[in-house]
Amino acid sequence: MAEELFTEIAPQHDALVCIDSDGCAFDVMDIKHQECFCPATIQVWGLQPISRYVRQAWDYGNLFSVYRGVSRFIELAMVFDWLAEREEVRKLGFKLPNIDSYRAWLKTTPTMSNDAVRKEAEKGDPVMQRVLDWSLECNRRIAEMVHGIPPFPGVCESLQLLSGHADIAIVSATAREALRREWAEHGLIQYVRYVCAQEDGSKKDCIRALSPKYPHGRILMIGDAPGDQAAAHSNGALFYPIRPADEVTSWQEFLDDGLDRFLSGRYAGDAEASYIRRFSACLPDIPPWKTSKQA
């Protein structure tokens, strides 16, 4: 997996900056989830009668909560869980598809990717075949819909400044083909040393594979989701958050302060903690349909 992929690539600098793609470098989270993932979920899984509640659950899980940035395969099961809890869905008498075999696969699979799903579907499980059809349909819609979207202001300038002092890695749960296409479309791939994609394992796995190449304290992960923070800290790397709905300001603050602090060794400690506190305040852990009933 990731360890094998990066063995032959030698570092050029003594520092590494890992950058997530969707919602962090590019403003594509809303269009991908609201126009591609969620409609594909409703279509492939036959959820048309409860589409309103599917949209609410999908947006909460993928855009506006602590679960932001989780693998599409995990989010799918979580959305089904939230739908099963909704009183409105029960009153409609709607029967959700049985995805027990898929849940079992999620607990045991070492890698969550289309290839891994395909191998399981080839054993004859119709549920896993449906998962594969769904994921491929998501990719088809993304390839058709998502293009011409530039990076957030500040991203290109940050990469230009970083590239002379640190190696840059894309660390994303997005498929490699989509990452290369999106980063090349806007001339950013030229700054990238490593492309760590969905096929290579989790973000945690990818950072772990790269970590031995760099001194302790010289790896920074820039991301927009709690999972990015966890992937960084579990590997002893630092984390700089891009706050959802405040991305432009976040990148400007990185240019004004975070970038220099990291390169000069002054980011760890109070500076990192301050940025993370503001980031955590942006992402609730209780769905809005539950808090509205409590109010």
Low-confidence stretches of the chain (pLDDT beneath 50): 295
How would you list the strands of the sheet with 16-19, edge to edge? Answer: 194-196, 167-171, 16-19, 219-223, 238-241
The whole-number pLDDT of residue 295 equals 45
Instruction: State pTM to two decimals.
Output: 0.82
The whole-number pLDDT of residue 69 equals 85
The whole-number pLDDT of residue 175 equals 81
CA distance 150 to 128: 35
pLDDT averaged over the chain?
93
In one-letter notation, the amino acid at residue 138 is C
CA distance 42 to 57: 12
CA distance 270 to 253: 15
Which among 52, 81, 47 is positioned nearest to 67, based on CA atoms?
Answer: 81
Does residue 179 come out as left (phi exceeding 0), alpha (psi in the -120 to 50 range) or beta?
alpha
Sign of the CA dihedral with 18 first, then 263, 255, and 234 last = positive
The whole-number pLDDT of residue 177 equals 87
Give pLDDT tens digits for 118-152.
Answer: 999 999 999 999 999 999 999 999 989 988 899 99
CA distance 34 to 87: 23
CA distance 179 to 161: 21
